[in-house]
Amino acid sequence: MIYDTFENADNYFNVGEPLRKALDFAKSFDQSQPDGRYEIDGDNIFANVMSYTTKAAEELKFEGHKTHIDVQLLLEGEELMDVYLGRDLEVDTPYSEEGDAALFQAPELFSTVVLKPGRFAAVFPDDLHRPSRMVDDPQPIRKMVVKVRMA
């Protein structure tokens, strides 16, 4: 996982690389555009923009992907995202190729990052994550998740 600010993106990704394309799209996104799917490079790189209300940890599962990297960032609001390195958790919902996701039970120990505008988290297939957590109380947020197909 990479967790940083947009200003430091050059430290990780060169111009033309898929993850850099994802971040460049996110930085230039016109926030007046509606929620939905935005193609950047067909099914190889695309963004899902969504609005929802954050939830308590107990209401959420850890998720993992096999074919795509998630680049998660907040357009409005603030949320917590828990991260667990490894795939040795108890499976709650088996992997679905259609959604490129499996859901897992929460581990006892994990790390937590704060997502808010100006920050991003690139979550790789071995990074199980639980996004959408409320900080103190449930709050409406607007989020972009850019999906980057693994080469």
CATH of the domain at 135: 2.60.120.370
Q: To 5 degrees, how large is the angle CA 90–CA 91–CA 97?
A: 150
* Residue 36 CB neighbour total at 10 angstroms: 9
Residue corresponding to tokens 């996110």: 26
Give me the pLDDT at residue 87, please.
82
Cβ(73)–Cβ(47) below 8 Å: no
Cβ(47)–Cβ(112) below 8 Å: no
Where residue 12 falls among pLDDT bands split at 50, 70, 90?
Answer: confident
Domain count, the chain: 1
Range of the domain at 25: 2-149
Give me the pLDDT at residue 4, please.
95
The pair of three-digit structure tokens given for residue 20, joined into one six-digit string: 């850099």
- pLDDT tens by residue, 116-146: 999 999 999 889 999 999 999 999 999 999 9
- pLDDT tens by residue, 80-102: 999 999 888 999 999 999 999 99
